[in-house]
Amino acid sequence: MFLWGTATAAYQIEGATGEDGRGESVWDTFAREPGRTRDGHTGDVACDHYHRWREDVALMSGLGVNAYRFSIAWPRVLPLGSGEVNERGLDFYDRLVDALLAAGVQPVPTLFHWDLPQALEDRGGWLNRDVCELFADYAATVAARLADRVPLWITLNEPFVHMAFGYAMGVHAPGRFLMTDALPAAHHQLLAHGRAVQALRAAGARQVALTNNCTPVWPASQEEPDLKAADAYDVLHNRLFNDPILLGRYPDLSAYTPSLDFIRDGDLATIAAPLDALGINYYNPTRIAAPTGDGLPFSDAGITGHPTTAFGWPVVPDCLRELLTGLKSRYGAALPPILITENGCSQPDTPTEHGTIEDEARVDFLDRHIAAMRQAMAEGVDVRGYFVWSLLDNFEWAEGYHQRFGLVHVDFATQRRTPKRSYHWFKEFLKGQNTDT
Ligand code: BGC
């Protein structure tokens, strides 16, 4: 069955951050610090999904998707990251899973979408190797409750973005500015993934995947410094996270770190445990030029000549085809089936005087990206699912509520949900799909 779904993440939609025994996450701490998010927005209320989940499941069932990718908040299940389990947190996801199944929607949980328990951040966060074992324990705890009904699991969401924005550049929680010294945060996330794969399989999970954010990298010119910088960016954004998982080895990192002593014997074998699928989040390509002397081995040259989203991201649908066929040629038989676990765009989405949201640009974006995915499939790439980011307008991390990605508009003052034109378009589209292929 081809999975057609929507995707969300716990901190971006749930709210209720202080309810039913949930512990603090790094995002609670970070968003409260002045100047960290636009207009000081936090996820304290977000879409209030923790209370309105029935309405949100009904929106999905009305849409006609057969899958839903959401994330489980580690601090809801283990308020201190380890130790005592908060059964009320597990109860929430248990009820959600049952409601999804009753609505004919396959639950696809992600175990980590950036909301590390603050208690673990206080012990060094992803720079501390001990967190890998604690993640495996957390995975086992969740799977013990849900694996009887959840066939497909995703361990991590975008370890690249978490490392780069959270640990290298400090623009996401936990707000560290370590530049290339952030590399241990990549390795420890990957090792945690590998240990979680073992824990999930031991608990009866049938299928396990990991989601990476990938981008086609275009050199700004064919001059040697730009080509070298583009290669460095490809290594740090794409290959650092795909090579160890799929090939059991890291690309050459010697130019970026004085020492790789955080990698121990046996780690790569754990990281490379076979997966049932690779999740790919795709938003845009990246154009890279030679470094400018800020400490990074590349610089962002920007892309012109294409339409852009409200975020300013270039819209280049054919790059999804380029990305997928590129993965196939790079990894060959080592590439498992692919799930597009996120694809979508932010748009201004102002309601009309009649209260409708005419997001034609999003309809066009989705239509053209789905066509590009199908072109890649026609060229031999095994894609098994496509999830729109996102079901709802939500808390867009450092941008707060300023970027709207939803198929459903959320009025954050009233929590009123209004399906946009794109929701109605996707619903009609899904009616025409044969989900067996
Ligand atoms: C993340 C989402 C985020 C989206 C749009 C992805 O990197 O997984 O959480 O909202 O991009 O920025």
Question: Could you tell me the sign of the dihedral formed by the alpha carbons of 310, 312, 316, 322, in that order?
Answer: negative
The answer to whether the predicted template modeling score (pTM) of the entire model surpasses 0.75 is yes
What's the 230 CA to ligand 1 centre distance in angstroms?
23
Partners of 219 in the β-ladder = 288
158 lines ligand 1 (CB under 6 A): yes
- The one-letter amino acid at 198: Q
What's the 258 CA to ligand 1 centre distance in angstroms?
31
161 lines ligand 1 (CB under 6 A): yes
Q: Which atom of ligand 1 is least distant from the CA of 161?
A: 7
- By the 8 A CB rule, do 260 and 191 touch? no
Instruction: For residue 235, give the nearest of 214, 210, 264, 266 by alpha carbon.
Output: 214
Virtual torsion, Cα 371, 372, 374, 380, nearest 10 deg: 160
Catalytic residues: 158, 342
Q: Which atom of ligand 1 is least distant from the CA of 311?
A: 12
Q: Token pair of 255, please?
A: 């130019």
393 lines ligand 1 (CB under 6 A): no
Mutate to test the pocket of ligand 1, among 69, 156, 280, 389 (most ligand atoms within 8 A of CB): 389
Q: Which atom of ligand 1 is least distant from the CA of 389?
A: 4
Radius of gyration (C-alpha) of the chain in whole angstroms: 20
- By the 8 A CB rule, do 325 and 259 touch? no
Q: Which atom of ligand 1 is least distant from the CA of 397?
A: 10
- CA 431 – CA 437 distance, rounded (Å): 14
Tell me the angle at which helices 421-431 and 49-63 cross, rounded to the nearest 10 degrees.
50
9 lines ligand 1 (CB under 6 A): yes
* Residue with CA nearest ligand 1 atom 10: 396
389 lines ligand 1 (CB under 6 A): yes
Please report, in tens digits, the pLDDT of each residue of the chain (437 residues total): 999 999 999 999 999 999 999 999 999 999 999 999 999 999 999 999 999 999 999 999 999 999 999 999 999 999 999 999 999 999 999 999 999 999 999 999 999 999 999 999 999 999 999 999 999 999 999 999 999 999 999 999 999 999 999 999 999 999 999 999 999 999 999 999 999 999 999 999 999 999 999 999 999 999 999 999 999 999 999 999 999 999 999 999 999 998 999 999 999 999 999 999 999 999 999 999 999 988 899 999 999 999 999 999 999 999 999 999 999 999 999 999 999 999 999 999 999 999 999 999 999 999 999 999 999 999 999 999 999 999 999 999 999 999 999 999 999 999 999 999 999 999 999 999 966 54
Domains contained in the chain, CATH given: 3-430 (3.20.20.80)
343 lines ligand 1 (CB under 6 A): no
E strands in 174-268: 207-213, 217-219
Geometric angle at alpha carbon 271, from 270 and 274, rounded to 5°: 90
* Residue with CA nearest ligand 1 atom 5: 396
* Residue with CA nearest ligand 1 atom 9: 9
Q: Which atom of ligand 1 is least distant from the CA of 396?
A: 10
- By the 8 A CB rule, do 24 and 129 touch? no
3-state SS class at 219: strand
- CA 235 – CA 326 distance, rounded (Å): 14
- By the 8 A CB rule, do 44 and 11 touch? no
Question: Could you tell me the sign of the dihedral formed by the alpha carbons of 152, 407, 38, 20, in that order?
Answer: negative
- The one-letter amino acid at 301: A
Longest dimension (CA), the chain: 63
213 lines ligand 1 (CB under 6 A): yes
Q: Which atom of ligand 1 is least distant from the CA of 399?
A: 12
155 lines ligand 1 (CB under 6 A): no
Q: Please give the pLDDT value at position 437.
A: 47
Mutate to test the pocket of ligand 1, among 71, 313, 397, 403 (most ligand atoms within 8 A of CB): 397
Geometric angle at alpha carbon 277, from 274 and 280, rounded to 5°: 125
What's the 160 CA to ligand 1 centre distance in angstroms?
12
What count of Cα atoms within 13 Å lies in the side-chain half-sphere of residue 280?
Answer: 30
What's the 159 CA to ligand 1 centre distance in angstroms?
12
- CA 354 – CA 332 distance, rounded (Å): 51
Question: Could you tell me the sign of the dihedral formed by the alpha carbons of 304, 309, 313, 316, in that order?
Answer: negative
138 lines ligand 1 (CB under 6 A): no
396 lines ligand 1 (CB under 6 A): yes
Q: Please give the pLDDT value at position 55.
A: 98
- CA 92 – CA 49 distance, rounded (Å): 11
